[in-house]
Amino acid sequence: MTADIIDGKAISAELRVKIRDEINELKSLNKNFNPKLVIIQVGSRPDSSTYVRMKLKACSEVGIDCISENVPEDISQEELLAKIEALNNDDLVHGMLVQLPLPPHLNESIITNSVKQSKDIDGFSQLNLASVFKKNDYPLYLPCTPKGILYLLEHEKVGISHKNIVVCGRSDIVGSPLAKLLEKKGATVTILHSKSTEEQKKFYISNADIVVSAVGQANFITGDFIKTGSTIIDVGTNFVPDATKKSGQRMCGDVDFESCLEKAGKITPVPGGVGPMTVVMILVNVLDSAKKAADFKRLKLNLVKPVPSDFEISRNQTPKHIVDVAKESGILDDEIEPFGSYKAKVKLSLLDRLHARKNGKYILVTGITPTPLGEGKSTTTVGLAQALGASLNKTAFANVRQPSMGPTFGIKGGAAGGGFSQVIPMDEFNMHLTGDIHAIGAANNLLAAALDTRMFHEKTQADKALFRRLCPLNKDGSRNIPKGLIPRIAKLGLDKKPIEEWTDEEIGKYVRLDINPETITWKRVVDVNDRFLRGITIGQAATEKGFTRETGFDITVASECMAILALSNSLVDLRDRLGKMVVASSHAGEPVTCEDLGCAGALTALLKDAIKPNIMQTLEGTPVFVHAGPFANISIGASSVLADKMALKLAGVDPGLTPEEEEEKVGYVVTEAGFDFTMGGERFLNIKCRSSGLKPDVIIIVATVRALKVHGGGSEVKSGQDLPIEYTTENLPMLSKGCANLAKHIENAKQYGVDVIVAINKMSADTAAEHEIIRAESLKAGAIDAIISNHWEEGGAGAVDLAKGVVACANKEYPSQKEREEQFKFLYDLENSSIADKITAIAKKMYGAGEVEFLPQAQEKIKEYTSQGFDNLPICIAKTQYSLSHDAKLKGVPTGFKFPIRDIKASVGAGYLYALAAEIQTIPGLATRCGFMNVEVNEDGEIDGLF
């Protein structure tokens, strides 16, 4: 008989075609899919260079981006390890191999083991090899030669289970792992090697069904050794003298091919047998690594109908470890501080590292005037990010606010999204997170205590006594000035001479703030809806010597400290803004600041960790920045500037790309603004964008059939009660009328020069005719598109159409980047408009008011703030979210109404004034039935009963 020759060259060629076709298909589905291999060659050994060229050629044929990095032969081990570590941290590199052998001064084991397991496509690292030898384990990547041999046996339909197999050779990268892998597949395996006797060789090989030789000795196996009909796999690479060859030698294997050919059933030649399979398995491993990198960003959803509760969905999903989420996002290991397994803080140093990168696309999600049930703005934000990241394989981030305990334990619930589009784990998201809100409360209340204490001491002490206590003498006779009070010295111009030379008048000027209690605006805060703290009396203890005053509490997220956390651009900026916070005025009408009280440094210390954005993930593994939670009624209602800037850099592209390459590789940051566009959107653009210098590429306005029917004259909807029949059945006239509210929001958004897309948040009772009405009215009002999204029920897959619309709109061509930037405009000018003018512009242009009525207290504040130089600040108007007007009962698009401003307060550190319309509250109250009534902790210590 004559054996069948196993043509490894032909088989590898077939496999290369399959790999090429699969890569092309994946690239067509995801333009960012680009498998990449880096080969490090130390020195220039001719044989190593030959092997590297083979691998480069093979990668080029199938569409793998392969780069050969040749380093000097005398490179130090530390330098080589540093290069490997840099490639380990490069998310664009999917595979890495160090060409062996290495020069003697380099420790081969240390070098190969330094390659990250997920990029060790040679399969040489201890982690991968150790998995081969564990009974119930399997490595990420098999060593390429054993993997190629297994493929050949499978391709040739050579069974392995229950066979006697001899493996000749016991190397760590071929013989030993191959023997173990064959054993795992049910074979009885014997290992022979160069020291085995002729008797042992003949006995075992003559009884073997399959023989694999990788000893590296020519003619190690001859035909008289083998069993008739056996399969012979020759891995050897040997060179023997041959005068007929130009080089004087020829390559042969370990097997005497001619004598075995007459007796074996199947046999591999050398060359052209196992060698080509080893190379092609490198390609297979690189492709697998690239696919894992692409798939790793997505957690599979187990979609269920009817949709379970939000909490059940969250609990049933197993999140990725937050370290993995960070790595996938491009965050380095030394840039994150994990808080347990599923949340972490991100260091601000990331912005320094990526400062040269161009920003990704900035998507703002707002809504129409909502109902008490909410219209799915957070859910849309999360669902869109899932669609962009998990479904379209774009780099994508969702940026949301931290939830306050107030709504979490009240009626509304947290703000994690809902259905199959939410941030997980839901309980960790809603309960404490990383303690940022507690830090805000501590900072706010420290300032409140300092304010009252200072008033008490000024009331009970003379100037010189105050001075001695504030700045006591050192042993050398100098004054010990608190660091926190040094800025006040410069502010008063007292730094022109030594403190020892101050006059009594100058000492009095320094130590006495002379606060007018009637002007105090700073309140204490608590992160609970507690209506009974809206008005309190403090100082009733006998120790306070009759110094009482009336004040009240705000909810913590209404603190100016929270707004500052959201709007700061750096730690230095945070410190500066905290110092500028105005807490009261003196009797002379001068503003009294946190800096005057010497508190700014301490407040910064309390917030030094809170300023670092937090990272979590969605149900589908898309990264989410969760940072800052300014109260949407009286503050900007948006997440932090720093979180947005980080996400935009991580989603950005390096300079030097063509416009086509940029569009292909750019990522998307989806951030939301609280309540509707008239509130959250307007403040986002006029306040947050002024602070950050950022401008959105697209504005999304979320609308529901339900809410538009409310604005079309539908019955009142209440949380916890069944919906009236008009909301669960088709009612086209009511819906058409209500679309006027949507049209007004579109009109408002377009005033800023940004394209608008309407997201129709689909609900089960909706009909196709209703959706078509919303679409038609949206386009009529000037929206670029109106797209149905079913992310609540289907996760990211339900928002794919919306995501595609956003991608198209965000990448719309403009004649020039300058024209695109110039298209954006603010609603009002800061420097040339008075406080009253700015408020009037917002009320008339955004709300539809006929006139603005400034009540006496507001008029006094306008005079006060103008005289103090605060009239050039932007405006935040605190009002109800349930109407375009100040009156929650006025639905639809009310016009011509009188808009009352009863008071104006200064958030100078945050950088705006906020005007209070009608009777808006700064600390909510609890309802009769509250969310906290369902919260329990089970036997495993897990929180149950959240929304």
165 touches 210 (CB < 8 A): yes
Nearest to 410 by CA among 927, 922, 936, 923: 927
Query: What pLDDT score was predicted for residue 751?
Result: 95
Rounded CA-CA distance 708/739 in Å is 6
Catalytic residue among 99, 402, 617, 881: 99
Cβ partners under 8 Å of residue 26, min gap 6? 33, 291, 294
Look at residue 265 and tell me whether its pLDDT is greater than 70.
yes
pLDDT band of residue 595 (cuts 50, 70, 90) is very high
Range list of H helices, 369-435: 377-386, 405-409, 426-430
Query: What pLDDT score was predicted for residue 931?
Result: 57
Query: What pLDDT score was predicted for residue 722?
Result: 85
The count of other CB atoms within 10 Å of the CB of residue 811 is: 15
The per-residue pLDDT for range 440-453, each reduced to its tens digit, is 999 999 999 999 99
Rounded CA-CA distance 674/635 in Å is 9
Catalytic residue among 36, 41, 55, 785: 55
What class is the 437-600 domain?
alpha beta
Distances in Å between the Cα of 471 and the Cα atoms of 462, 474, 484, 603 are 14, 9, 12, 21
Return the CATH number of 835-916, one of 3.30.70.890, 3.10.410.10, 3.40.449.10, 3.30.470.10: 3.10.410.10
Residue type, 427: D
Query: What pLDDT score was predicted for residue 918?
Result: 77
Query: What pLDDT score was predicted for residue 131?
Result: 78
Average pLDDT estimate for 478-497? 92
Residue type, 759: A
Rounded CA-CA distance 106/98 in Å is 12
Average pLDDT estimate for 331-341? 91
Look at residue 66 and tell me whether its pLDDT is greater than 70.
yes
Cβ partners under 8 Å of residue 753, min gap 6? 823, 824, 825
Catalytic residue among 120, 122, 256, 766: 122
Mean model confidence pLDDT for the chain: 91
Instruction: Extract the runs of DSSP E, i.e. beta strands, from 863-907.
Output: 875-878, 898-907
- Percent share of the chain, pLDDT over 90: 74
The DSSP result for 541-569, as a single string, is: SGGGTT--EEE-EEEGGGSHHHHHHHH-S
Query: What pLDDT score was predicted for residue 813?
Result: 78
Query: What pLDDT score was predicted for residue 426?
Result: 84
The per-residue pLDDT for range 219-261, each reduced to its tens digit, is 999 999 999 999 999 999 888 888 888 888 888 999 999 999 9
- How does 749-768 read in b/e, with b if 16+ C-beta sit within 10 Å? beebebbbbbbbbbbeebee
Query: What pLDDT score was predicted for residue 936?
Result: 66
pLDDT band of residue 589 (cuts 50, 70, 90) is very high
Judge if 4-291 and 325-434+610-717+725-812 fold alike in CATH terms: yes
Among the ranges given (133-137, 196-200, 258-262, 495-499), the one the predictor scored with the smallest mean pLDDT: 133-137
Return the CATH number of 4-291, one of 3.30.70.260, 3.30.300.30, 3.40.50.720, 3.40.50.2300: 3.40.50.720
Nearest to 634 by CA among 267, 904, 338, 303: 904
Residue 498: exposure state from Cβ atoms within 10 A (0-12, 13-18, ≥19): exposed
55 is an active site residue: yes
21 is an active site residue: no
| CATH architecture of the region 325-434+610-717+725-812 | 3-Layer(aba) Sandwich (3.40)
Cis check for the bond before 425: say yes or no (omega within 30 of 0).
yes
| Domain range summary for the chain, segments of one domain joined by + | 4-291, 325-434+610-717+725-812, 437-600, 835-916
Query: What pLDDT score was predicted for residue 73?
Result: 94
Give the strand order in the sheet containing 912-917: 851-854, 898-907, 912-917, 875-878
Span between the terminal Cα atoms of the chain, in Å: 75
The count of other CB atoms within 10 Å of the CB of residue 465 is: 12
Query: What pLDDT score was predicted for residue 128?
Result: 75
Q: Is 265 helix (H, G, I), strand (E, B) or coil?
A: coil
The per-residue pLDDT for range 873-917, each reduced to its tens digit, is 999 999 999 999 999 999 999 999 999 999 999 999 999 999 999
pLDDT band of residue 366 (cuts 50, 70, 90) is very high
The per-residue pLDDT for range 927-938, each reduced to its tens digit, is 655 555 566 677
The per-residue pLDDT for range 796-825, each reduced to its tens digit, is 999 999 999 999 999 987 656 667 667 899
Instruction: At 115, list the tokens.
Output: 């390659």
Residue type, 880: T
Query: What pLDDT score was predicted for residue 411?
Result: 52
Query: What pLDDT score was predicted for residue 300?
Result: 87
Look at residue 60 and tell me whether its pLDDT is greater than 70.
yes
Nearest to 669 by CA among 806, 840, 520: 806
- Phi, psi dihedral angles at 499 (to 5 degrees): -60, -30
Sign of the torsion angle spanned by Cα atoms 81, 87, 89, 94: negative
857 is an active site residue: no
Look at residue 676 and tell me whether its pLDDT is greater than 90.
yes
Distances in Å between the Cα of 141 and the Cα atoms of 124, 468, 803 are 9, 73, 35
Look at residue 695 and tell me whether its pLDDT is greater than 90.
yes
Look at residue 188 and tell me whether its pLDDT is greater than 60.
yes
439 touches 607 (CB < 8 A): yes
For the chain, give the longest Cα–Cα distance: 118
Look at residue 942 and tell me whether its pLDDT is greater than 70.
no
